[in-house]
Structure 1
């Protein structure tokens, strides 16, 4: 009887630590939760920036500084009086 009780205790102790719903699985889920929370925060920051950009473009007329920023950064446009400095491409 004692051997049976020891065996059952060992069985349950093992599965408490290493089982599908054990402590190791809980630790892995907590790590994943923190990683997903970080990713969610970064996506919320991107969403807030995009919402700001959309609001600036929806105003009538659109914000001229924002339009110029898009023309320079996204489209690669420059004014005729701008000086452009080209960096050499790295070999690789």
Structure 2
């Protein structure tokens, strides 16, 4: 009975480790430098902080405007507020007044 004996190749033992290293290297690189990697996460966090600061400014501005509107709404009309807004919109003042813009 004849049998075939194959000589073990040293190169064959390296195929699986090389594929594993390539696989891990690819995903390791993209986990740091990819579109959703660590570097991109830092950029997203920076943008989030900037936008949160902008939202805080807009919320403060809106609250101030809502307060002014409440002073000018029906039922609680403040004459001084109405007079101030009209003068500012029409760009008019009396001759004895001093106008200070801020």
Question: TM-score, with normalisation over the residues of structure 1?
Answer: 0.76
Q: Spell out the pairing of 1:68-87 with structure 2 (5 A cutoff).
A: 68-82=83-97
**Residue 62 (structure 1) aligned with residue 49 (structure 2):** no
Give the structure, 1 or 2, with the largest relative contact order (CA under 8 Å, sep 6 or more): 1
Mean CA deviation greater in 60-69 or 13-22: 60-69
SS in 2 for 1:30: helix
Alpha-carbon distance between aligned partners in 2 of 1:49 and 1:61, rounded to the nearest angstrom:
17
**Residue 38 (structure 1) aligned with residue 53 (structure 2):** yes
Q: Which string of whole-angstrom CA distances, capped at 9 and with x for unpartnered residues, describes residues 9-47 of structure 1?
A: 211111101122211221111111111111111110111
How many pairs align?
84
Cα shift at 1:62: 1.8
Alpha-carbon distance between aligned partners in 2 of 1:82 and 1:17, rounded to the nearest angstrom:
64
Q: Residues 9 and 61 from structure 1, CA distance in 2 versus in 1: closer, same or farther, beyond 3 angstroms?
A: closer
Question: TM-score, with normalisation over the residues of structure 2?
Answer: 0.70
Alpha-carbon distance between aligned partners in 2 of 1:44 and 1:31, rounded to the nearest angstrom:
20
- Root-mean-square deviation (CA, aligned residues, Å) is 1.9
The aligned residue for residue 35 of structure 2 is 20
5+ residue gaps, structure 2: 1-15
